[in-house]
Copies of this chain bind each other. A is one copy, B any other.
Amino acid sequence: MNTVKIGLLGLGTVGAGTAETLLKQRDLIRDRSGIDLVLARAADLNLDRDFGFSIPQEILTKDAMEVLQDPDIQIIVEMIGGTGIAKTFILEAFSQGKSVVTANKALLAEHGPELITAAQDAGVELFFEASVGGGIPIIKALREGLVANPIEEIHGILNGTCNYILTRMERDKVAFDAVLKEAQDLGYAEAEPSLDIDGWDTAHKAVILGQLAYGIPVTLEDVSVSGIRDISPVDVATAAELGYRIKLLAILTRSNGSVEVGVQPALIPEDHMLANVEMSFNAVLVKGSVVGETLYYGRGAGRLPTASAVVADIVDVARNLISGATDRIPLEWSPEKAPRLLPPAERVERSYLRLLLRDRPGTLGVVARVLGESGITITALLQKEDPLHKEFVPVVILTGNARVGDVVEAMGRLSALEDVGDEIVRYRVEELGA
């Protein structure tokens, strides 16, 4: 029997779930892979707590270096998180000739290319399936299952907290603040929710997907990010009335040699599979030039779902170690063929616009004229009687495809008008393969 020894750093939620899965599924994995995965050491600063399962005391330590320098250990699993000590430990693992499995999306988004180069220089591997989409094997699908496909588009629902909030807002017609408060009380959302609801967690994942899909060193600075904090019940209800649902999406597209990587709330058709991803589930829609539209769905977070992906990575690395494969799947694709990154203003997309218009004859005509002067067509318009707004009435406009820079510029000219309210809300509209 081939044996591979594993060292685990960090016994937080996902770390403990990984330890539990390695121990509980050891026989199954041995039957399936022919490899006996042994959890040899596990380090955490706080060992005096209930991990939720029985972990052998003798493998526990408070000293991560003990694990990193154990000559019998071939794979290090980094479950500490953050961009500080986690990076130091990963580089130390490489220098010890050990491969690393991590779920650390923030670290990969900030230092991915550096870590990949370090792993290659050391002749070891770096796997990170769990960093995007939790338990969904989306990294494997991109790197292996769709290897023959130029990736045209990716649309991902990658943050369970945001999707939970948006689902509840639509289903139960509750306001953002109320749902967030409730989610925090239930432990679904962090006390400091900015990483989730302002789109940064999704942006980390978009950076990783962008590097994999297009082989270019995307950085966080390249991603235009907006979150869901300002989405009002009016927008959710109006979108529904027009046949759309609002989802926070990581959007990656490629056309004419330019690549877009962004995170933003978008209206998507309510009968599309992606619109039916509800509550805290995640999904990634990938359109490849050869395969067409494919979608991958599952739990994007949580102790065991994430552990499922971490352990799959461990098995992959162990298989390479045992079968003698080295650098079986290169992480770096020819960066010299990199397409340019498209600035947000240059994107061409449909828009949802919500304006407040003074309730007097001709105002709508002025709005239509301003949009028309910028070459922006109106494909749908919704004005409702609203007893609460005496002087200004809310109007929603869906536009045809237009350069975002032109739309934003037109929004500026509109809001300067005396008959138009200062605040104009804009969201993207995605037809998704229509």
User: Which of A187-195, A293-301, A360-368 binds B?
Assistant: A293-301
Q: Contact between A290 and B273 (Cβ–Cβ < 8 Å)? A: no
Given pairs A32-B147, A135-B294, A291-B299, 13 additional interface contacts (CB within 8 A): A25-B150, A29-B147, A135-B292, A137-B146, A140-B140, A140-B145, A144-B312, A276-B276, A291-B308, A294-B297, A295-B296, A319-B328, A320-B328
- CA distance in complex: A373, B90 (Å): 66
Q: Mark A307-350, 1 if CB is under 8 A from B, else 0.
A: 11101100110011001111111100110010000000000000
- CA distance in complex: A293, B135 (Å): 9
A121: B residues at CB distance < 8 A: none
- CA distance in complex: A32, B331 (Å): 8
Does residue A91 face the partner (Cβ distance < 8 Å to B)? no
- CA distance in complex: A7, B305 (Å): 40
A32: B residues at CB distance < 8 A: 143, 147, 215, 330, 333
Does residue A260 face the partner (Cβ distance < 8 Å to B)? no
Does residue A277 face the partner (Cβ distance < 8 Å to B)? yes
- CA distance in complex: A43, B308 (Å): 42
A316: B residues at CB distance < 8 A: 144
- CA distance in complex: A276, B274 (Å): 10
Does residue A156 face the partner (Cβ distance < 8 Å to B)? no
Q: Contact between B337 and A329 (Cβ–Cβ < 8 Å)? A: no
Does residue A9 face the partner (Cβ distance < 8 Å to B)? no
Q: Mark A141-176, 1 if CB is under 8 A from B, else 0.
A: 101111111100000000000000000000000000
Does residue A412 face the partner (Cβ distance < 8 Å to B)? no
Q: Contact between A149 and B308 (Cβ–Cβ < 8 Å)? A: yes
Does residue A288 face the partner (Cβ distance < 8 Å to B)? yes
- CA distance in complex: A305, B286 (Å): 13
Q: Count this chain's copies in the assembly.
A: 2
A129: B residues at CB distance < 8 A: 145
- CA distance in complex: A331, B101 (Å): 24
- CA distance in complex: A322, B34 (Å): 22
Can you report 17 A-B residue pairs in the complex whose CB atoms are below 8 A from each other? A21-B148, A25-B290, A32-B333, A33-B147, A34-B330, A144-B312, A145-B309, A148-B308, A288-B308, A290-B304, A292-B304, A293-B298, A294-B299, A295-B298, A296-B297, A323-B324, A324-B324
Q: Which of A247-300 contact B (CB under 8 A)?
A: 271, 273, 276-277, 283, 288, 290-299
Q: Contact between A33 and B290 (Cβ–Cβ < 8 Å)? A: no
Does residue A47 face the partner (Cβ distance < 8 Å to B)? no
A329: B residues at CB distance < 8 A: 33, 319
Given contacts A215-B32, A295-B295, A305-B291, contact A147 B312 (CB under 8 A): yes
Q: Contact between B327 and A305 (Cβ–Cβ < 8 Å)? A: no
A299: B residues at CB distance < 8 A: 291-294
Given contacts A215-B31, A309-B145, A315-B144, contact A298 B292 (CB under 8 A): yes
- CA distance in complex: A302, B34 (Å): 35
Given contacts A308-B149, A312-B146, A323-B327, contact A294 B298 (CB under 8 A): yes
Does residue A353 face the partner (Cβ distance < 8 Å to B)? no
Does residue A28 face the partner (Cβ distance < 8 Å to B)? yes
Does residue A136 face the partner (Cβ distance < 8 Å to B)? yes
A295: B residues at CB distance < 8 A: 283, 295-298
**Nearest B residue (CB) for A129:** B145
* Chain B CB within 10 Å, residue with most, of A29, A271, A333: A333
- CA distance in complex: A329, B144 (Å): 14
